[in-house]
Amino acid sequence: MKQIDFQLYLITDRKQVRNQDLLSALDEALEGGVRAVQLREKDLSDRELFELGRALRTLTRNHGARLFINDRADLAVAVEADGVHLTQTSYSAREARKIVGSDRLIGVSTHSLEQVRKAEDDGADFVTLGPIFATPSKMEYGHPLGLPLLEKTVRQVNVPVFAIGGIKKQNALSVLDAGAHGIALISGILATPDLKQAAGEFVSILHGTHPIEDRHAV
């Protein structure tokens, strides 16, 4: 199993960015300490995704960060990304491996213990599991899974698990306490007025250097 050398996984949504373009926003987040970005802009054309992916590849390399492309193994290869992130409607990690090769990483979005197990069996390098907490962006996946299921899942699999869905500074440590490898988020950084500061605060929390009033707040 490949080493997953990041704990904070930022997923893009340019519609949540305030008063600037996506690349400028991501530059700020990377300055704040983000070391893994997933390009996830589903309404763009192939050409637009390719061009944005190439620009983001340059930006992430300048910051020593990893780049993942959502759902498109072919584009991940084309823009020289570090990997692809698959959904439950994508082809399997096993099939994606034939496209991206042995060196690139494969992440998979999951919403149950069974899906995590399948992703692991198919050779995924890591998964996101959620929604752990209530969040408008994940309403389509049903009720929040909660910390007990996260903890149960982590105990039963070996693949690194990133918690996603409603992750805030006040509850980030609680998912680490449940055994998550890290956290994945969108609005917790992108929708804030100061992306560099927000990213830095999450990095500090994950490294245990940020004071939190209630580590189990939701």
Q: Within 10 A of 14 (CB to CB), how many other CB atoms are there?
A: 17
Question: Of 35, 40, 104, 118, which one is the catalytic site residue?
Answer: 40
Choosing from 35, 109, 118, 196, the catalytic residue is: 109
Q: Of the listed 72, 97, 138, 196, which one is catalytic?
A: 138
Three-state secondary structure call for residue 10 = strand
User: Is 109 a known active-site residue?
Assistant: yes
User: What is the dihedral angle through the alpha carbons of 55, 59, 64, 68, rounded to the nearest 10 degrees?
Assistant: -40
- Cβ neighbour number for residue 102 with a 10 Å cutoff: 7
Q: Is residue 90 among the annotated active site residues?
A: no
**Count of alpha carbons within 13 Å of 127, Cβ hemisphere only?**
30
CA pair distance 76, 61, nearest whole angstrom? 14
Instruction: Estimate the share of the chain in helix, then strand, then coil, as percent rounded to the nearest 5.
Output: 40, 15, 40
What distance in Å separates the CA atoms of residue 50 and residue 187, rounded to the nearest whole number? 24
What residue ranges in 25-130 does DSSP mark as E strands?
Answer: 36-39, 66-70, 83-86, 105-110, 126-129
Helix (H, G, I), strand (E, B) or coil at 58: helix
Alpha-carbon dihedral sign for residues 161, 110, 166, 37? positive
Q: What 3-state DSSP class applies to 18?
A: coil
Residues with a catalytic annotation lie at 40, 109, 138
